[in-house]
Amino acid sequence: MYLIDFYNFKPPAELLVNRDESQAIRVNAAKTSLEFRRNAFNTDSVDEALDLLDFCYKIVSRSGLSENGTYLPKAIHPKYSCVHPKTSIDDAMDEARMVMCGAIEGLLKKQGLAAKDVDIIVTTCSIFCPTPSLASMVVNHFGMRPDVQSYHLGGMGCSNGVVAVNLVKDLLRSRRNCNAILLTTEITTPAYYKGKDKHRQVTNMIFRTGASAVLFSNKRAMVRHAKYVLATNYRVHLASRDPAYKCIWYGPDEEGNNGIYLGKDVVNEASRSLSMAMFKVAPSILNAGQIAAYAATELQRKVLGRKVPAYKPVFTECLDHFLIHAGGAKVLDGIGKELQLDEAAMEPSRMVLHDYGNVSSSTTWYTLGYVESVRGAKKGDRLLQIGVGSGIKCGVNVWRAVRDVHDVQDAWVSSPRTRQMRTRTPCLVPVGVQVLLLADARCPCRLGALEGTKQSRLAAKRHWPCQAGCCSGACCMLQ
């Protein structure tokens, strides 16, 4: 299956969330407005409201989200609807039209296609499932053909941006000469929690608005312009186990207020599902040396009875880019640890979390946008796409670039990393000369050199430029 192109929606600047400004607005409202306390936390107590606000601020401060770089719709934005957060169906539809139609408009314009050129449309959104469906809303908005195949997938969580690729693949197998669009989002308006359960308040702090539209095709004329081909994919569903099934769910708290519950087992269950998925995918992505090392380890453990650690491959040796669901800082930490990924490999996902927050099933597509905009992908590069969500479900897709790709996406065009990419000039700074280059103010390698980390010292010793990829090969190392 060929991936032709995709588009990440960037909300308007007026919807940016300033962390400190939002906190100040909410603290003032908690002190002065009984209506706010009841609407936001279902309490009359000023002290309880302030305690919950303090908890929320700590969560968002440690979440990996930018101080001023993520987006919320006006209906639940502290700047516009602090005292009266709106979670009605009409408000949710306003958000859905903005992000979903905006993503498809961007994709169609980018590819020079008309809405009537679309043969299959698949939409995904977990919490908000209106009637008619969101897929029908898109068909109506764009005036698509009456024979368009439309499907909506609801309640499948953050993994659905990856898992839904299975459905698109099957649909394209059953129909020739078709264009298919996968539209992924999570509408945050109806998911906004108005209660005092801290487990549910977490999602208010990390989920943000956004959407991605992805174009697949099996038309010969379109395939010639494809960026990637799906090499292999696999999915795992652990819902038969109660700890996995119950660690993420949407429903009422003890007082009847609906919200998304995030349990303490989320990271462990996500890691478990990922391990199972990667075990199945590994034979098709590991190189010959890694397969031989695995075989030798298993021989010692199971045949010779020796107590040796299980073999854990270093995936950076066989894969070039990693598109990991940016569900939160702890989720990324857990997946990075499970796959033994360094910060260079984790950086694209961390930047999505920083600039856009948890945009649910769209996060891995925003990550791909970052990779294309800042680093680029070379022909033959392999990209590992990982989605983890409620269930627990884990989906793994491995894509192979069929041509060189350096496509600055609208969502990343104003990113400092993208601007640096355009103007950088490779250089080599002699060992011992500490120069603060402007190539990348947030480069972890440059910051690591300041701190004298092992990676930076090794790079300095070898007179390397930045090899981690965080600056696309530009030398921004203090060497």
To the query of whether residue 358 is one of the catalytic residues in this protein, the response is yes
Cβ-contact 191, 249 below 8 angstroms: no
Average pLDDT over residues 373-381: 95
Active-site option among 125, 152, 325, 471: 325
pLDDT of the residue at 289: 85
Active site residue 354: yes
Query: What kind and span of H or E run contains 107?
Result: helix 102-111
Given the residues 237, 257, 268, 406, the one annotated as active site: 237
158 a catalytic residue: yes
Give yes or no: 77 in active site: no
Residue 417's pLDDT is 64
DSSP state of 20: H
Question: Could you read off the pLDDT of 87-120 as tens digits, one per residue?
Answer: 999 999 999 999 999 999 999 999 999 999 999 9
- 56, 321, 397, 471: the active-site residue: 321
Q: Active-site residue among 152, 354, 394, 470?
A: 354
The per-residue b/e assignment along 355-385, b for 16 or more CB within 10 angstroms, e otherwise, is bbbbbbbbbbbbbbbbbbbbbbbeeebbbbb
Q: Which CATH architecture describes the domain 1-415? A: 3-Layer(aba) Sandwich (3.40)
Catalytic residue among 8, 218, 358, 397: 358
Q: Which tokens belong to 131?
A: 């009637």
Distance CA 159, CA 270 (A): 11
- Reported as half-sphere exposure (CB side, CA atoms, 13 A), residue 262 has a value of 24
Q: Where in the chain is the domain with CATH 3.40.47.10?
A: 1-415
DSSP β-bridge partners for residue 230 = 399
Mean pLDDT of 54-68: 93
Beta strands in 284-390 (DSSP E): 321-324, 382-389
Q: What is the pLDDT of residues 178-221, one digit of tens each?
A: 999 999 999 999 999 999 999 999 999 999 999 999 999 999 99
Contacts of 469 (CB under 8 A, 6+ apart): 344, 345, 347, 375
Range in 42-51, 94-103, 246-255, 462-471 the model is least confident about: 462-471
The model's pLDDT over 316-335, given as tens digits with 9 standing for 90+, comes to 889 999 999 998 898 899 88
pLDDT, tens only, 425-447? 333 333 333 333 333 333 444 34
For every residue of 178-233, DSSP letters joined together read -EEEEEEE---TTT---SS-HHHHHHHHHB---EEEEEEE--HHHHTT-SEEEEEE
Handedness of CA 354, 356, 360, 362 (dihedral sign): negative
Q: CA 181 to CA 179: how far, in whole Å?
A: 7
Strand pairing partners for 228?
3, 401
Encoded amino acid at 386, one letter: I
The pTM score is 0.85
